[in-house]
Amino acid sequence: MSKSYLASLLGENEKVEFVARQHWSILLRSIAAEVVIAIIILGAVTIALPLTGGILAVLYLLALIPLGMITRDVIIWWNNQYVVTNRRVIQIHGVFNKNVIDSSLEKVNDVKMEQSFFGRMFDYGDIEILTASELGANRFSWIERPVHFKTAMLNAKERMGMDEMPRRGGGRDDIPSMIEELDQLRKQGVLSEQEFQTKKAQLLSRL
């Protein structure tokens, strides 16, 4: 369900680059108490086996409550996604009622990542995306594989900047303006100095 819903959000020629969720420790923390309750009830069922069927039936029904809550928490965790495409970052929350927040890669100014000692050990952390949109900042807490997420986002933004250049025109008169746009991308940190010089040389070779 979540995959088909994500696919329905994608525009023409938009591709998913990376999908992440909150770290599994968040799920474990959510279901820990419910697992303990379920174990206690199942233990009581085992002890009560010699008793009458009515008592056993009640205990079995009680065991279904924490098991149902565990199932609910797993479904919620699975459906909360943080997606990088070749155009934007998408935050999807909710199972039946969906809450979707988009951040265009073009408007991403800075990316801040925080990882504690245990975060580096177990590969989780916080990602904060600073954008030029009205949202201002988007914070993804306890996200899994934060380094991969950040790298995928920056690489997608860089490719978007490079790919947009040829679409602006192929005439010689456009080349100076294209170089100027590349220089702006370099100043914004989207392109490295080496990448800027390489692309600039490619454009100058068309003259």
Which of 36-50, 79-93, 156-170 holds the top average pLDDT?
A: 79-93
Sort strands 124-131 and 137-144 into parallel, antiparallel or unpaired: antiparallel
Q: Say if residue 1's pLDDT is above 50.
A: no
Q: Give yes or no: residues 117 and 186 share one domain.
A: no
Which strand ranges, in their side-by-side order, compose the sheet holding 88-93? 16-20, 81-85, 88-93, 99-104
Q: Give yes or no: residues 9 and 106 share one domain.
A: yes
CA distance readout (Å), 110 to 103, 124, 128, 137: 12, 19, 8, 9
For residue 67, tell me if it sits in a domain. yes
Sort strands 88-93 and 81-85 into parallel, antiparallel or unpaired: antiparallel
Q: Give yes or no: residues 68 and 137 share one domain.
A: no
Q: Give yes or no: residues 189 and 135 share one domain.
A: no
For residue 46, tell me if it sits in a domain. yes
pLDDT value of residue 24 = 92
Residue 179 — very low, low, confident or very high, per pLDDT cuts 50/70/90? confident
For residue 158, tell me if it sits in a domain. no
Sort strands 108-114 and 99-104 into parallel, antiparallel or unpaired: unpaired
Q: Give yes or no: residues 96 and 134 share one domain.
A: yes
Query: How many domains is the chain partitioned into structurally?
Result: 3
- 142-165 average pLDDT score: 81
Q: Give yes or no: residues 120 and 191 share one domain.
A: no
- 115-140 average pLDDT score: 84
| Alpha-carbon dihedral sign for residues 83, 88, 92, 96 | negative
For residue 125, tell me if it sits in a domain. yes
Domain of residue 189: give its range. 168-204
Q: Give yes or no: residues 137 and 184 share one domain.
A: no
Q: Give yes or no: residues 39 and 138 share one domain.
A: no
Q: Give yes or no: residues 36 and 14 share one domain.
A: no
| Alpha-carbon dihedral sign for residues 200, 201, 206, 207 | positive
Tell me how far apart the alpha carbons of residues 145 and 30 are, in angstroms, rounded to a whole number: 20
Q: Give yes or no: residues 103 and 66 share one domain.
A: no
Query: Rounded to two decimals, what is the model's pTM?
Result: 0.67
Q: Is 133 left (phi over 0), alpha (psi -120 to 50) or beta?
A: beta
pLDDT value of residue 207 = 65
* Phi and psi at residue 191, to the nearest 5°: -110, 145
Q: Give yes or no: residues 89 and 186 share one domain.
A: no
Cβ contact 101:135 at 8 Å: yes
Average pLDDT, the chain: 81
Cβ contact 101:89 at 8 Å: no
Structure token digits, residue 107 = 């408007």
More confident residue, 11 or 161: 11
For residue 163, tell me if it sits in a domain. no
For residue 72, tell me if it sits in a domain. yes
Tens-place pLDDT, residues 68-85 = 889 999 999 999 999 999
- 145-150 average pLDDT score: 92
Q: Give yes or no: residues 86 and 11 share one domain.
A: yes
For residue 120, tell me if it sits in a domain. yes
Q: Say if residue 165's pLDDT is above 60.
A: no
